[in-house]
Amino acid sequence: MKATREGYIEGLLEAGERDTRVVVVDGDVSRSTGTIAFKDRFPDRFFNLGIAEQNMAEYSAGLALAGFIPFYSTYAVFAAGRAWDQIRTSICNMNLNVRIGGAHGGTSVGPDGATHQALEDIAITRVLPNMTVLVPADANQTRQAVLASLDIDGPVYIRYGRNQVAELYNREESVVPGRGRLLRDGKNASIVAVGAMVSIALDAAGMLSKKGIEVSVVDMVSIKPLDIQLLQYLSDVTELIVTAEDHQIAGGLFGAVSEYMSENCPGRIIPVGINDRFGCSGTPDQVMKHCGLTAEAIVGKVEKAVKIR
Amino acid sequence: MISSKVVREDILRMIHTAGSGHPGGSLSLVEILIYLYWKEMKIDPENPDWEDRDRLVLSKGHGAPALYSVLARRGYFSVDKLDSLRKLGSGLEGHPHMQSLPGLDCSTGSLGQGLGIAAGLALGLAMKKSPARVFCILGDGELQEGSIWESAMSIPALKQKNIIVVVDRNHVQLDDAVNKIMPVEPLAYKWRAFGWAVAECDGHDPADIERAFSTKANKPLVIIAETVKGKGISFMEDQAQWHGRVPDKEQLKKALGELK
């Protein structure tokens, strides 16, 4: 078990070694998110602008105009939410090479409660033209997402989490924009998951298998661009897709998958996610259970839908 | 150096032809922009992407007609193009879009964002040891945006030297006088309190503008340029309704006749 934020920092340090254009802009959370390690290694390329997210996004836009590759990071709820107009009008409209690290994504910041749980960040970043949205599932994949972002033209949002999640990938498995990962192949239904829900989806697939239901599991690490080839494959093999995300159902992974499928593929799509509510305090596991983000919830939805047919 | 009359004529004609736009805050900017593009900024219109050029961030992006006129008159693109303001595919977007037109160093238009972008750009240029400076023009109504003060706080804190800010202090915003909507005074005091050196000038007097720009300070410099919204046109001056109103044929004729 390892937190994806650890992978983000590993990736950031490597990116900093690889490319001197990489700079980090922080909003007074460097001890919490771990970017202080970048400050220690590259003090001349680290700027802590205090609790001022709009200014962070603006400075990052300006640094990108000067030819740098700024990574700005703070809690996802502020990184994407507070600075959204700056992201839209300055960073995306100019198609600038700014990388936004959305830390503490989803319910992973558990005890802090609703104010600090980013449950809308995927929706509000993926709606923006020119933006790439990556939601890695484990620490190694987060490291790779950071490194992959160096080669992306235009802005990138990377969402990662605070709490420990299962390790799914080896260190060298790369992240490619527009590519998801087929982790398990089954003919009765498909689960498309992101972030912390990927390992939970794998647990659900194991439980379903014991009941004689074989499901595919996809890690849709690249929410934008979406892996439409993989969705087409799933649609060819199964008629049911269950999406699983630590995020509002509206506008997130379910939204992205539904938008593509409704236009291009037959079949049914059922969401597992936060259903139009705010989070609350509790351990991340408790909050996830409270909000219905569990393997059992996925199993229940798959079983019910498969039985109906 | 181009005359302010020519630029004001351009602005009025452009907005009349486009059928929309912001005359008041464009007319207040004229002498400031002329001074910057003919006397202060190190630029090469033949080579608009020159790495060490001085940059301009027009944070009050609705002043675009004034900037477009100055860029065209300075040789970045053909003066004929000015007629195509706000027309599909012309590149003269309602608010500046840098990828659409040569000579633009930044896209702007959403008030409150330009100062932070200018600061990031200046920081990046300084890190690259470029001699380039960044000029940023703010509206006075724009100072009501909280994000401006985030940047006003960070620029002196980071000891940034290669950025110069101009406030186009025309005293009028969309709805009414700035003082009636949400006062920004005491303005010089506020900037000083945030760690800035402040110079004040008559924003329509080229010699006074030049004097303000020559201010020597070991802090970042903000120039508060006292201007008149709608400057030069009797029926537009100080009138909030001319923030975003279009002169009709008669008004255009009258306005052009008034220009000296």
Interval B240-258: pLDDT, tens: 999 999 999 999 999 999 9
Task: Indicate which of A26, A28, A51, A58 best probes the interface with B, i.e. most B CBs within 10 Å of its own CB.
Answer: A58
Amino acid at A112: D
Question: Can A53 be counted among the known catalytic residues?
Answer: yes
The distance of A305 to chain B (nearest Cα, Å) reads 47
Enclosing H/E stretch for A184: strand A181-184
Choosing from A10, A53, A58, A120, the catalytic residue is: A53
Number of neighbouring beta carbons within 10 Å of residue A242:
27
Q: What pLDDT, on a 0 to 100 scale, did the predictor assign at position A266?
A: 85
Mean pLDDT of B44-64: 97
* Alpha-carbon distance B236 to nearest alpha carbon in chain A (angstroms): 30
Q: Do B113 and A70 touch (CB under 8 A)?
A: no
pLDDT given at position A307: 77
**ipTM reported for the complex, 2 dp:** 0.96
Contact across the interface for B123 and A67, Cβ inside 8 Å: no
In a mutational test of the B interface, the residue from A47, A51, A90 whose CB has the highest number of chain B CBs within 10 Å is: A90
d(CA A255, CA A292): 18
d(CA A142, CA A10): 9
Q: What's the DSSP call for residue A231?
A: H
pLDDT band at residue B155 under the 50/70/90 scheme: very high
- Answer yes or no: do B116 and A55 touch at CB < 8 A: yes
Q: Do A62 and B119 touch (CB under 8 A)?
A: yes
A54 with B127: Cβ contact below 8 A: no
Question: A104 Cβ partners below 8 Å, 6+ apart?
Answer: A5, A33, A75, A76, A77, A112, A116, A117, A118, A161, A162
B98, B113, B127 ranked by CB distance to A58: nearest: B113
Binning pLDDT at 50, 70 and 90, where does residue A308 land? low
Which tens digit of pLDDT belongs to each residue from B104-119? Answer: 999 999 999 999 999 9
Nearest CA in chain A to B59: A90
Asked if A58 lies within 8 A of B115 by C-beta distance, the reply is: yes
For residue B184 the two structure tokens come to 């920004």
Sequence-distant (≥ 6) Cβ neighbours of residue B23 within 8 angstroms? B11, B12, B15, B65, B230, B233, B236, B242, B244, B245, B246, B247
Query: Does A24 reach chain B within 8 Å, measured CB to CB?
Result: no
The CATH class of the A2-165 domain is alpha beta
CB contact under 8 A, B120 and A61: yes
Structure tokens at B80: 């004929």
Give the model confidence (pLDDT) of A153-203 as tens digits.
999 999 999 989 999 999 999 999 999 999 999 999 999 999 999 999 999
Number of H helices, E strands in chain A: 13, 14
In this complex, is the C-beta atom of A190 within 8 Å of any C-beta atom belonging to chain B? no
> Averaged over A57-78, what is the pLDDT?
97
The SS3 assignment for A105 reads strand
pLDDT at B193 over 80: yes
DSSP chain A: -EEHHHHHHHHHHHHHHH-TTEEEEE-S-HHHHSTHHHHHH-GGGEEE--S-HHHHHHHHHHHHHTT-EEEEEEEHIIIIIITHHHIIIIIITTT---EEEEESBGGGGGGG-GGG-BSSHHHHHHTSTT-EEE--SSHHHHHHHHHHHTT-SS-EEEE--SSEE---S-TT----TT--EEEE--SSEEEEE-TTHHHHHHHHHHHHHHTT--EEEEE--EEES--HHHHHHHHHH-SEEEEEEEEESTTSHHHHHHHHHHHH--SEEEEEEE-S----SS-HHHHHHHTT-SHHHHHHHHHHHHHH-
For A266, the 3-state DSSP assignment is coil
Q: What pLDDT is recorded for position B253?
A: 97
Looking at beta carbons, which residues of chain A come within 8 Å of B116? Answer: 54-55, 57-59, 61-62, 86
Best of B62, B147, B155, B162 to disrupt the A interface (most A CBs within 10 Å) is B147
- The CATH code of the domain that includes B241 is 3.40.50.970
Contact yes or no for B168/B138 (Cβ under 8 A): yes
Any chain B CB within 8 A of the CB of A154? no
- Boundaries of CATH 3.40.50.970 in chain A? 2-165
Name the interface residues of B facing A (CB cutoff 8 Å).
97-99, 105-107, 109-110, 112-113, 115-125, 127-128, 146-147, 150-151, 153-154, 158
A70: amino acid identity, one letter: P
Q: Residue B189 is part of which domain span?
A: 4-258
CB atoms within 10 A of CB A178: 13
* pLDDT (average), residues B122-134: 98
Please report residues of B whose CB lies closer than 8 A to that of A55: 116, 119, 147, 150-151, 154
Question: Quick check: A47 contacting B, CB < 8 Å?
Answer: yes
Whether chain B has a CB inside 8 Å of the CB on A166: the answer is no
Chain B residues near residue A130 by CB distance under 8 angstroms = none
- Identify the closest residue of chain B to A87 by CA–CA distance: B113
Q: Is A111 on the interface with B (CB under 8 A)?
A: no
Residue of B nearest to A59 (CA): B120
Average pLDDT over residues B224-246: 97
Is A59 close to B123, i.e. CB distance below 8 A?
A: yes
For chain B, the first-to-last Cα distance in angstroms comes to 16
Q: Indicate the residue of A50, A66, A89 with minimum beta-carbon distance to B121.
A: A66
In this prediction, residue A100 carries a pLDDT of: 98
In whole angstroms, what is the distance from residue A8 CA to residue A75 CA?
13
Q: Which CATH architecture has domain A181-308?
A: 3-Layer(aba) Sandwich (3.40)
8 Å CB contact between A240 and A270: yes
- Nearest chain A residue to B114 by CA: give it: A58
Q: Under an 8 A CB cutoff, do B113 and A44 touch?
A: no
Angle at B67 between CA B65 and CA B72, to 5 degrees: 95
pLDDT in tens, A234-285: 999 999 999 999 999 999 999 999 999 999 988 899 999 999 999 999 999 9
The torsion angles phi and psi of A70, rounded to 5 degrees, stand at: -80, 135
Nearest CA in chain B to A51: B150
The predicted model scores a pTM of: 0.96
| Confidence band for B260, pLDDT divided at 50, 70 and 90 | confident
SS3 call for B53:
coil
Q: In total, how many domains does chain B have?
A: 1
